[in-house]
Each structure stands twice: as C-alpha cells, then as structure tokens.
C-alpha cells in the first residue's frame, strides 16, 4: 500500500485581503509544491461582499482545494467536512494517476463501469483512513473576526477530534494574521494534538490589516522547514501526494 | 477528473425527465424530488410501473461509496433490513457532463418523530427495540451506521417497521466516522471519540430517544453527561428510561443486544398505558407517572403502619399483664 502524506493549508477568514502579495498567486504556488489550499469564509449576520467571495473562491480554485462560505454557527461541521473532502480529492487524484498508468492515458475512474469503480473506491476509502495528514491552519484575526474567534477555536478542536479518530497520523500547526508584531505569527508549532490551542486562543488580540498573501507565503515556508528538518533526522525520501487535475 | 471547488453546487432535474443509464440502459422517469443533502439529491422515479428512489450526485465518488455500503448491507440482511435494497448503479450523460446515480427501493412512510406524534408514545419502545435489533445485526457484520438521526428513520408498513433511508455515514468498524450530525454525535457532547464503534451508534440511539421528548432539540451549554441528564429529568416520559439512556450515553453498553434487553426490562417494570394518543404527548406520561410510582409507595406505607399497629398491641398487652400482676401482688 502506498503510504504517502497529504499536506493542506486551511484558511479561515471573513473577507478580503488588503496587504502584501496576491493570495491567489500564493495559493497557486502552494499547489505547485503539492500543498492543497482550502478556504472557509465565516459570516456572522453580515454578508461577505462580492469581492471577498471572489477572492475566497479564487484562492481555493488555484490552490486545488475546496471553499465554503458558512455562518459562524455551522463552522465546526464545515471545517471537518472541507478538510475531509479536500483530502479525498487529493487521494482520488493520486488513484486516478495510478489508474492512467495501468489503463492508458485518457482513462480515469469515471471511465470504468460502476461495478469496477466500487473496488477502486474501497482503495480510496482505505487511504483516507490510513494516510498521514499535515494541516496548517491560518486564522484571520483582523478586527471583524473578534466575535468569531471563540467559534473558530471550537471548530479547530472539533477538527482535531474528527481527524484523530483516523488510523493515520496527523500534524497540525496554527498561524494567525495579523500578529502582534509581524503580519503573520506562529501560534502553535507542528504537533499531533490541537488541544493546547485552548489556552493560547483566549489571549489573542485582533485588529488591523488582512495580509492573506503574506500569510500563505509564511505557511509554505513552514512546510518547507518541516520537510528539511525531517530529512536531516532521517535519510529516507519523503513521498507526498500531489494534486493532479 | 471532475472537481468541485464548492460544496453547494448540486444538479437538479425537473419532473417528467427520463433518465437513461449509460451502462445498463434502464429508463427512469422522474416524478418528484424527495430530498437533498450534502451528498446529492434523491428523486422518486418510475421504472416499469414500479416506484423507485433514485439518488444523483455531481460527486460520483460519494455515490460509489454509498453503493458499496448498500451492497454490503445486502449481504448482512435477513428478510427486511434497516437500509433500502440496491437496484441499479449507472451514469447519465447530460449536457452538463456525466452524472452518477444509483437506484434503490422506495421506502415510504412518515419519519420517526411525525409517526410518534400521530400514533402516540406507546409506539416509541417498539420502534427502538426494532432499531436496536437491526443495529445489532449491522454491528455483528463489522459496520457502524454513523449518521443516525430521526430525519433518516422512516416508519414503513403496515405493519410499522423502522427503516433507514440514508446510509451515507455507514463506516467500517475501527475507522473514523465519515458523516455525523452534531446533536447525535458523542464527540460534540464531549462524551467520546469519533471512532466507528458500536457504542457510537448506541449513543445516537439514546439521543434520538431524548429527541422524541424535545422535538426541536436543544443546543450545547455545558455539554457532557450533566446537561443531558438534566434534560432527561425535565421530561417525565424520559424518566422511565433514564437508566438505559444514561448508560448508552456513557458507552456502557458494548452491544446493541445489551441495550435492547435493558430497554425491554424497563418496559416490564413500567408498562406504558396502552391508549395514549399523540395529541398531548408531553402531558399524558406525566399523568401516568405518579400513578406508577405512587403504587409501590402506598404499599410500603401500608406495611409500615401495619407494623406500627402490631407494636402498639404488644405494648398494650405488656402493660395489661404488668397491671394484672401488680393487682395480684397487692391482693395476695
């Protein structure tokens, strides 16, 4: 069985970026490095404007991931659903590539008769259960997010609950933007458990600009750091699932 | 491959449309939409004069995943099973691209909560005994239902039989639960993991029992067993089953059979009056409960007063004998 690793960025925001590089370009860069970018747009009563909406969909599209706009109340359920869906998409991408190698260039799962597809799906399900997952969570802490941070915390703890029920390993890291001093700040370094968030999250201050692009760039750097650190410790090559469309 | 970047897009088909399968060439005429969810839309359709349910989704993968579950259900099942039986799987070529669909038995009837509203609470234990029986079979075969909730539970018949119309959450034991609804999820209440285990389903069953007394549900405040126990104690009709519900919520039943047996014991201890119509479901059990608990209480008091009377008689006789002896002493 192929044991690779799935790497994702989960961006939680409530609107438009207003500083630094284009987040859509940064998301495209992530995808090139085999990292999927998913975006969740959180609403309160207010509606996310057209511009914010376009940006959210744009980031997910160029990041090869999933986007969803939700009311703060439904955040928990959505965060885990989006993460899971994106993970399955990535696995399906990999399985499809393997199929193409076996069956010939233009063949994908949809070209198989329904009976055969079921067997392939079992492989996809199995991989979803056992694959290692790295999720970097980027939380927008601009002023308008203040009321929603408690809900975001709940949703992240809930995500951890869902993912740790799997057999495969999980690694999480959390960044906020803007930070106290820098545009982007690391809140939690790579860890298998998100529980430690509870205390850190209550001390968060909100305010200022929304540097979504720089936040994504920092996230990519963090993945790179993690990879090089691990290759120092062990010599074996890491294999990553990469998105194919 | 086909990619969905948003979860909301959903393909809709208007009534009267005929769907012809690409692989098996079966024809289905859409009658109406029955419902929709995150994983697709279900239609009532006609095939060879028979009514069937047809589920369609932009996401071919979720369709295939559910078909796998339905197929394994078919292996489990005895006569009539919890889930619908699978009739066909195919693709449909539309001008928007290929859409996957599967066809299943059309299970017709009111959902669990509406049924109890109409027929009265006397049906409640019966339906739950049926449900636990079906779950026991499912668990024995290595599966966990996952997304159990009253909206998905249909009372088919007559004779009334509980069936489940959405198998999308069914998961192999030991894996992570695929799909869930917060109110019925033990993780949400802080009472366990999201690993697919028999205890996960039994927690959901307990929450559905609570749900029958709280049709609008309630939200988490403190969470945990204390909030849920509080909710049970506020509803007299739940009080009868308190011990069973609480044990299921805490994961004390390892099998559905155990929970079923104790639910049945509850019935013997507290027989539900056989005529309780659903007009005032919250009040009827209230009038029934003091009656049931007062009976043993009176009996106990009766015994106690009888004992007291016996003691009085004993004292009177003793005093009488003493007085008699005293008089005898004086005179002789």
Instruction: For chain A, give the percent of residues with pLDDT over 70.
Output: 89
Longest CA–CA span in chain B (Å) reads: 126
Closest by alpha carbon to A40, among A92, A6, A78, A84?
A78
| B60 part of contact set with chain A, CB < 8 Å | yes
The predicted structure's pLDDT at residue B287: 39
Q: Return residues 82-141 of B near A (CB < 8 Å).
A: 89-91, 98, 100
Q: Which of A109, A118, A163 sits opposite B68 (nearest CB)?
A: A118
The predicted structure's pLDDT at residue A242: 52
Residues of A at the B interface (Cβ-Cβ below 8 Å)? 57, 60-61, 65-68, 76-77, 81-82, 84-85, 88-89, 92-93, 96, 108-110, 113-115, 117-118, 120-122, 124-125, 129, 158, 161-167, 245
* B50-63 pLDDT, tens digit each: 999 999 987 777 88
The structural domains of chain A, ordered by start, are: 5-233 (3.40.50.410)
Query: What mean pLDDT, rounded, does chain B reach?
Result: 81
What residue segments make up the domains of chain B, in order of their start? 18-105, 112-285
Contacts of B286 (CB under 8 A, 6+ apart): B236, B237
* A75-88 pLDDT, tens digit each: 888 888 888 888 88
Q: What's the rounded Cα separation, in Å, for the pair B169 and B165?
A: 11
B221: chain A residues, CB-CB within 8 Å = none
Residue in chain A lying closest to B101 (CA): A114
Query: How far A165 CA sits from the closest chain B CA (Å)?
Result: 5
Q: What's the predicted TM-score (pTM) here?
A: 0.76
Instruction: For chain A, give the percent of residues with pLDDT over 90.
Output: 22
A53: chain B residues, CB-CB within 8 Å = none
Residues B240-279 as b/e (b if ≥16 CB within 10 A, e otherwise) read bbebbbebbbbbebebbbbbbebbeebeeebebeeebebe
Q: What is the Cα Rg of chain A in Å?
A: 18
Q: Which of A61, A65, A118 sits opposite B67 (nearest CB)?
A: A118
Instruction: For chain B, give the percent of residues with pLDDT over 90.
Output: 50
The number of angstroms, rounded, from the C-alpha of B219 to the middle of its chain's C-alpha atoms is 19
- CATH fold of the domain at B112-285: Transferase(Phosphotransferase); domain 1 (1.10.510)
Supply the ipTM of this predicted assembly. Answer: 0.76
Confidence of residue B77 (pLDDT cuts 50, 70, 90): low
- Say if residues A71 and A147 touch (Cβ distance below 8 Å): no
* B5-37 pLDDT, tens digit each: 344 445 688 898 999 999 999 999 999 999 887
* B288-317 pLDDT, tens digit each: 333 333 333 333 444 444 445 556 666 677
* B225-264 pLDDT, tens digit each: 999 999 999 999 899 899 999 999 999 999 999 999 999 9
Tell me the mean pLDDT in the region B65-69. 87
* A148-188 pLDDT, tens digit each: 888 888 888 888 888 899 898 999 999 998 888 888 888 88
The predicted structure's pLDDT at residue B62: 81
More confident residue, A80 or B42: B42
Q: Which of B68, B91, B176 sits opposite A129 (nearest CB)?
A: B176
Cα distances from B149 to residues A143, B20, B152, B199, in angstroms, run 38, 33, 6, 15
Among A39-48, A199-208, B56-65, B290-299, whose mean pLDDT is lowest?
A: B290-299
CATH entry, B18-105, from 3.30.200.20, 3.40.50.300, 3.50.50.60, 3.30.1450.10 = 3.30.200.20
- Say if residues B66 and B168 touch (Cβ distance below 8 Å): yes
């Amino acid at each position: 069985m192929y044991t690779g690793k799935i790497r994702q960025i989960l961006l939680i925001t409530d609107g438009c970026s207003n500083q630094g590089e284009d987040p859509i370009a940064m998301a495209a860069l992530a995808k090139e490095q085999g990292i999927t970018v998913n975006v969740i747009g959180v609403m309160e009563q207010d509606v996310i404007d057209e511009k914010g909406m376009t940006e959210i969909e744009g980031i997910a599209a160029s990041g090869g991931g999933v986007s969803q706009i939700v009311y703060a109340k439904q955040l928990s359920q959505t965060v885990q659903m989006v993460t899971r869906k994106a993970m399955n998409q990535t696995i399906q991408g990999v399985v499809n590539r393997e199929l193409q190698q076996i069956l010939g260039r233009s063949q994908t799962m949809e070209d198989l008769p329904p009976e055969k597809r079921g067997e392939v799906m079992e492989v996809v399900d199995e991989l979803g259960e056992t694959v290692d997952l790295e999720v970097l969570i980027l939380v927008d802490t601009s002023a308008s997010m203040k009321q929603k941070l408690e809900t975001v915390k709940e949703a992240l703890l809930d995500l951890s609950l869902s993912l740790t029920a799997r057999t495969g390993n999980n690694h999480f890291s959390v960044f906020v933007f803007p930070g106290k001093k820098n545009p982007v700040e690391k809140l939690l370094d790579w860890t298998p458990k998100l529980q430690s968030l509870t205390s850190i999250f209550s001390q968060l201050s909100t305010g200022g600009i929304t540097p979504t692009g720089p936040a994504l760039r920092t996230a990519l750097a963090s993945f790179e750091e993690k990879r090089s650190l691990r290759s120092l410790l062990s010599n074996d090559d890491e294999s990553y699932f990469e998105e194919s469309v | 491959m086909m990619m969905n970047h948003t979860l909301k897009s959903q393909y809709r088909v208007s009534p009267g449309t005929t769907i012809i399968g690409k692989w098996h060439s079966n024809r289905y005429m859409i009658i109406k939409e029955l419902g929709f969810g995150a994983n697709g839309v279900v239609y009532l359709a006609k095939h060879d004069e028979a009514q069937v349910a047809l589920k369609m989704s932009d996401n071919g993968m979720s369709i295939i995943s559910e078909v796998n579950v339905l197929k394994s259900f078919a292996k489990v099942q005895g006569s009539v099973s919890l889930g619908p039986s699978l009739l066909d799987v195919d693709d449909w070529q539309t001008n928007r691209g290929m859409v996957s669909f599967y066809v299943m038995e059309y299970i017709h009837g009111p959902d669990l909560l509406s049924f109890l509203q109409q027929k009265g609470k006397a049906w409640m234990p019966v339906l739950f005994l049926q449900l636990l029986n079906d779950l026991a079979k499912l668990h024995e075969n290595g599966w966990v239902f996952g997304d159990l909730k009253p909206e998905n539970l249909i009372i088919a018949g007559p004779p009334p039989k509980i069936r489940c119309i959405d198998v999308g959450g069914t998961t192999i034991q030991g894996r992570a639960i695929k799909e869930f609804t917060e109110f019925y999820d033990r993780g949400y209440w802080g009472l366990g993991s999201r690993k697919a285990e028999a205890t996960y389903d039994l927690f959901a069953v307990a929450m559905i029992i609570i749900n029958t007394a709280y049709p609008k549900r309630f939200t988490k405040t403190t969470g945990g067993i204390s909030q849920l126990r509080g909710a049970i104690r506020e509803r007299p009709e739940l009080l009868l089953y308190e011990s069973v519900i609480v044990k299921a919520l805490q994961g004390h039943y390892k099998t559905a059979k155990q929970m079923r047996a104790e639910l049945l014991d509850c019935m013997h201890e507290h027989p539900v009056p056989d005529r309780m119509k659903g007009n005032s479901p919250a009040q009827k059990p209230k009038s029934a409960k003091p009656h049931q608990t007062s009976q043993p209480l009176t009996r106990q008091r009766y015994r106690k007063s009888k004992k007291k009377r016996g003691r009085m008689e004993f004292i009177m006789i003793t005093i009488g004998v003493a007085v008699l002896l005293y008089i005898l002493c004086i005179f002789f």
